[in-house]
Homo-oligomer: A and B are copies of this chain.
Amino acid sequence: MVEQLRTQIEKVIKVNDAEWAAFQSILKPKQVKKNELFLEQGQVCRHMAFIAKGYVRFYFLVEDEEVTKEFNFENTFCGSYASFITGSPSRFNVKAMEDLSLLIFDRPHLLQLVEQYPAWAKFLLFSVENLFVRKENREASFLLDTPEEKYKKLLFENKEMLRRVPLKYIASYLGLSAETLSRIRAKHK
Contact = CB atoms under 8 A, between A and B. Distances in A.
A132 B144 CA distance: 20
Contact of A135 (B60, B92, B139): B139
A132 B82 contact: yes
A88 to B, nearest CB: 10
Question: How many copies of this kind of chain does the complex include?
Answer: 2
Chain A at the B interface: SS class: helix
Contacts of A155: none
Interface in A86-136: 86, 91-92, 115, 118, 121, 124-125, 128-129, 131-133, 135-136
Query: Which of A115, A129, A142: most chain B Cβ within 10 A?
Result: A129
A147 interface: no
B121 A125 contact: yes
A13 interface: no
Contact of A60 (B81, B138, B140): B140
Nearest to A174: B143
Interface string A156-188: 000000000000000000010000000000000
A interface, how many residues as a size bin?
Answer: 20 to 34
Query: Which of A81, A128, A138: most chain B Cβ within 10 A?
Result: A128
Contacts of A143: 60, 67, 69, 175
A110 B22 CA distance: 28
Nearest to A173: B143
Contacts of A132: 81-82, 128, 131-132, 135
A139 to B, nearest CB: 6
Contacts of A138: 135, 139
A86 to B, nearest CB: 7
Contact of A129 (B69, B85, B115): B85
A62 interface: yes
